[in-house]
Amino acid sequence: MGGAVVPILPDMTRMAGWGSSTMEYMGAEVAAEMAALGVSYYNGGDAGVRAEHTLAQLGSHPALITVAGGSIPASGPVDVTASNVRASSLLKSFSGTLAGVAGTLSSTATTLVFTRAAAGDAVAVPAGTPFIPTVGPQYRDAVNILNIGKNDIGGAGADTMIIEKTAEAFAWMSPLVKRIVVMGHAVNRDTADDSPGRAQIMTVNAAFARAYGALYFDLQSYMVSPQIWIDAGVTLSLIHI
């Protein structure tokens, strides 16, 4: 595939989830369920981030870095920019390599920062050099859950972007036989019926259902179904006023 030999089947003993708060906050429960099946789980959820951040952390669309001054210094941090990833205080630092130099990419509210892992010679970095994450590619041949772009909902063209970026991440996974659950997005509580964000989520979910079939999990339908109360062990009762 693309000139490389890839596995036919995924490694069913490893699993990872990618997205924002939905994935991060369900991580402990998913890990416990998977452990009971003998499957290790990596929580790649990062609350508050956008699709561009998730794809950079995963590695399907790495951050394309330009270093201030044009080179990584011999030691310490250096401010950087990325043409495809905006700075965000919500982005958790993650490890990887930039121009062959190991380090971490982190962010303040206004600035991305690369910090090399060990001192060494200064290294020139051409503009647009990809920062290759360490963890994401390690799960490229595993079972994965994709729940990308919830925090982009409401922006112009967000539905189209989420559909495209999810497809990109899905295709990037290396086994020929995919074991990737594409999880749809749920509408936030108290969202107005005529909200543009609600319409975008419904558009995204419908596109996912068409594209991924049995590999799609309809989170929205599940969240508003009676089954969720059964699974949670909650008995509902009617209150007559």
Tokens of 160: 């189209």
Return all residues near 127 (Cβ < 8 A) that are at least 6 apart.
Answer: 66
- Asked whether the beta carbons of 139 and 172 are under 8 A apart, the reply is no
Kindly state the percentage of the chain with pLDDT values over 90. Answer: 93
Give the count of alpha carbons within 13 A of 219, CB side only: 20
Element (H, E) at 228: helix 227-232
Question: CB–CB of 112/106 below 8 Å?
Answer: yes
Tell me the pLDDT tens digit for each residue of 66-92.
Answer: 999 999 999 999 999 999 999 999 999
Which pairing describes strands 112-116 and 77-82: parallel, antiparallel, or unpaired? antiparallel
Which band of pLDDT confidence, cut at 50, 70 and 90, is reported for residue 37? very high
pLDDT tens readout for residues 184-220: 999 998 999 999 999 999 999 999 999 999 999 999 9
CA–CA distance from 206 to each of 16, 161, 168, 221 (Å)?
Answer: 24, 14, 17, 11
CB burial class (10 A; 0-12, 13-18, 19+) of residue 131? buried
* C-alpha closest to that of 181 among 146, 209, 139: 146
181 closest CA partner among 154, 214, 153 = 214
pLDDT, one tens digit per residue, over 126-175 is: 999 999 999 999 999 999 999 999 999 999 999 999 999 999 999 999 99
What are the angstrom distances between the C-alpha of 128 and each of 67, 125, 239? 9, 8, 61
